[in-house]
Structure 1
Amino acid sequence: MRPQRAPALALAGLLFFGGDLSAQETPRSVDLEEALRLLHENSPEMALARSRVREAEGRALQAKAYPNPSISATHEALEGAGPDPSETYLNLSQRVEWPGTRSARSRAADRGLEAARGRFAADSLRLVFEVRRTYLESAAGAERLDVLEEVSAVFREAAGRADERFAGGDVSRYARDRIRLERVRYERGLAAARVELDAARRALGALILPGEGGAAATEGLPDGLPPRLEAEGPGPEAVDRHPTVVAARSGVEALGAEADLARSLRLPDPTLTGGYKTQSNGFDGLFVGISLPLPILDRRGGAITAAEARLGAERSRLDLARRSVERELRRAGARYRALRAQAELVGEGFVESGSALLETARVAYREGEMELVELLDAASARRDAGILSTQLLADVWTSYYELIRASGGSDAGSGSERHER
Structure 2
Amino acid sequence: MTHQRLSSLIFLTAALQIGAVTTRSQAVEPAGTSTYQLGTIIEMALARNPVVSSAEGDIEHQRGQQTAAGAYPNPTVMGNAGYGEIRDTGRADIRDSLNRESIFEYNFILGQPVEWPAMRSARKRVADAGLATANAGMSETRLNLAAQVKVAFYDLLLAQQDAALAQQNLEIVEGVGRIVKARVKSGEAPQFELIKAEVEILKAKQLLVRAENVVRVNRVIVDTFTGGGLGTSYVVQGDFLNMPRELRIDALMAKMVQEHPTIRRLLQSVEQSDWRIEFERQSRVPNVTVNGSYWREIGREAVQGGLSIPVPVWYRRQGEIAASLGTKRREEAELLRARNELARAVHQHYQDARTTAELIDVFDKGLLKQAQEALRLAQFSFQQGASSLLEVFDAQRVQRQIQMDYAQVRYELSVSLARLERAVGGAL
TM-score normalised by length of structure 2: 0.82
Residue 126 of structure 1 corresponds to 144
Deviation at residue 36 of structure 1 after TM alignment: 0.8
Which whole-Å deviations, capped at 9, do the CAs of 1:40-75 have from their partners, x for residues lacking one?
221112111211111112212221111122333332
Shift of the 136–349 alpha-carbon distance from structure 1 to 2, 3 Å rule, reads farther
Deviation at residue 29 of structure 1 after TM alignment: 2.0
Structure 1 letter corresponding to 2:306: G
Residue 63 of structure 2 is aligned to residue 46 of structure 1: no
Residue 275 of structure 2 corresponds to 257
RMSD: 2.9
Residue correspondence of structure 1 range 4-403 to structure 2 within 5 A: 27-80=33-86, 81=95, 82=98, 83-210=101-228, 214-222=232-240, 224-230=242-248, 232-281=250-299, 284-347=301-364, 365=382, 371-403=388-420
Shift of the 41–109 alpha-carbon distance from structure 1 to 2, 3 Å rule, reads same
Does structure 2 retain, via aligned residues, the 8 Å contact 1:273–1:290?
Answer: yes
Percent identity between matched residues is 22
Matched residues in 2 for 1:68 and 1:227: separation? 62
Matched residues in 2 for 1:259 and 1:151: separation? 68
Shift of the 406–219 alpha-carbon distance from structure 1 to 2, 3 Å rule, reads same
Does structure 1 retain, via aligned residues, the 8 Å contact 2:107–2:296?
Answer: yes
Matched residues in 2 for 1:59 and 1:324: separation? 31
Shift of the 355–217 alpha-carbon distance from structure 1 to 2, 3 Å rule, reads farther
* Unmatched tracts of structure 1, length 5 or more: 1-21, 413-421
Matched residues in 1 for 2:60 and 2:75: separation? 28
Does structure 1 retain, via aligned residues, the 8 Å contact 2:129–2:272?
Answer: yes
Q: Larger radius of gyration, structure 1 or 2?
A: 2
* Unmatched tracts of structure 2, length 5 or more: 1-27, 87-94
Instruction: Tell which deviates more after alignment, 288-297 or 398-407.
Output: 288-297
Matched residues in 1 for 2:156 and 2:205: separation? 20
Does structure 1 retain, via aligned residues, the 8 Å contact 2:109–2:291?
Answer: yes
TM-score normalised by length of structure 1: 0.83
Matched residues in 2 for 1:109 and 1:321: separation? 24
- Matched residue count: 389
Shift of the 47–356 alpha-carbon distance from structure 1 to 2, 3 Å rule, reads farther
Give 3-state SS (helix, strand or coil) of 1:293's partner.
Answer: coil
Structure 2 letter corresponding to 1:105: R
Give 3-state SS (helix, strand or coil) of 2:312's partner.
Answer: coil
Give 3-state SS (helix, strand or coil) of 2:64's partner.
Answer: helix
